[in-house]
Structure formats: structure tokens, C-alpha cells
């Protein structure tokens, strides 16, 4: 098991806002985590965050990894208090989504209906 650091600003710049930004970070860490590495996301120089970014970068990891595994293998450095707050809410929502089939079905149905409206 190796320790790996991913510098987020080198991937996406100073703003972690969009789904595409999140997908970029996800693509950089998913395989590392699957191989059993300990991954530190360094958020130095990233100054703005939004939930779509964290949903794509971190939230979807819960579809593949258990919370305990992520707690032991994924760390965050230089994340502002606002970033921590957004991340906490995204993780709470992702856990509800991935751990409860009824919640997942309801969310998927609402999103589908909104998309076709």
C-alpha cells in the first residue's frame, strides 16, 4: 500500500465547481483507491467549491467503496472550512442515496421526470 498525493489545483485550477471538474478528480483517484493506495487530495490553491464538483469527485466513490474503506484510504489536505462543509453534506446525501434503495429509486425518478419535462 502506497501513499499518493493528488494536487487538485493541477487538475482543475482554482475552482471546484462543475461535474466535469469532479470527474477529472474522480478519474485521478478511483484507480489508486481500487489498488489499495492511501490517497491524499491536496486542495491548496483551490478557493471555491460547489456540490456538483464533490458529487462527481467524491460522492460517487460510495457506489464502489464502503465508507470505512474511504475513511481509511482517502484524506483531504488544505481544504477550507467552506469546502469541508460542502463535502460533509455531499457525503451525507451520497450515503443516503447509495445505502437506501428506496431513496435511490425516488431520486432517480425525480431526476428522470425533470429531464423529460
Average pLDDT, the chain: 92
What does the DSSP 8-state code read for residue 95? H
Higher-confidence residue of 115 and 9: namely 9
Contacts 24+ apart (CB under 8 A), 61-70: 61/26, 61/29, 61/30, 61/33, 62/91, 62/94, 62/95, 62/97, 62/98, 62/99, 63/98, 64/30, 64/34, 65/33, 67/95, 69/33, 70/33
Quote the number of domains for the chain.
1
Q: How do residues 29-68 score in pLDDT, each as one tens digit? A: 999 999 999 999 999 999 999 999 999 999 999 999 999 9
8 Å CB contact between 112 and 76:
no
pTM of the entire structure?
0.85
Domain with 65, as residue range(s), is: 3-116
**Res 78: pLDDT:** 97
Amino acid at each position: 500500500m502506497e501513499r499518493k498525493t493528488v494536487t487538485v489545483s493541477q487538475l482543475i485550477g482554482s475552482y471546484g465547481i462543475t461535474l466535469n471538474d469532479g470527474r477529472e478528480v474522480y478519474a485521478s483517484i478511483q484507480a489508486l483507491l481500487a489498488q489499495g493506495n492511501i490517497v491524499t487530495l491536496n486542495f491548496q490553491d483551490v478557493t471555491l467549491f460547489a456540490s456538483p464538483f464533490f458529487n462527481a469527485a467524491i460522492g460517487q466513490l460510495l457506489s464502489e467503496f464502503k465508507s470505512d474503506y474511504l475513511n481509511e484510504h482517502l484524506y483531504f489536505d488544505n481544504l477550507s472550512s467552506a469546502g469541508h462543509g460542502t463535502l460533509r453534506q455531499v457525503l451525507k446525501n451520497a450515503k443516503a442515496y447509495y445505502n437506501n434503495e428506496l431513496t435511490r429509486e425516488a431520486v432517480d425518478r425525480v431526476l428522470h421526470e425533470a429531464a423529460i419535462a
